[in-house]
Amino acid sequence: MDILMQVVGILGAALLLLAYFNNSTKKWTTHNMAYQLANLSGASLICVNTFYFTVYGPFILNFFWALIALNGIKTHLSSIKA
């Protein structure tokens, strides 16, 4: 199980780095759904990893990161409906 959780953490970090890289190179903006989904998925996977390994500092950071991404998704979806 430890190896699986390491893979989960690595995938989460890769997704966060993907979002950051694409935003920094102006391929994605913060209003882009792919950006928000990559942030949500990455932060959620890191939450699973850090909770499993009982490392609560990064868990708290990524929990709020995921909440912020959810808010971005909500904002994006409400702007489409309007």
> If DSSP states are collapsed to H, E and C, what string results for the chain?
CHHHHHHHHHHHHHHHHHHHHHHHCCCCCCCCHHHHHHHHHHHHHHHHHHHHCCCHHHHHHHHHHHHHHHHHHHHHHHHHHC
CB contact set of 17 (below 8 Å; sequence gap of 6+) = 42
For 34-54, how does the pLDDT look when each residue is reduced to its tens digit (9 = 90+)?
A: 999 999 999 999 999 999 999
Quick one: pLDDT at residue 62? Answer: 98
**Is residue 65 pLDDT above 80, yes or no?**
yes
For 6-15, how does the pLDDT look when each residue is reduced to its tens digit (9 = 90+)?
A: 999 999 999 9
How many C-beta neighbours within 10 Å does residue 43 have?
24
pTM metric for this prediction: 0.92
Total domains in the fold of the chain? 1
Structural domain of residue 55, as residue ranges? 2-81
**Is residue 82 pLDDT above 90, yes or no?**
no
Mean model confidence pLDDT for the chain? 96
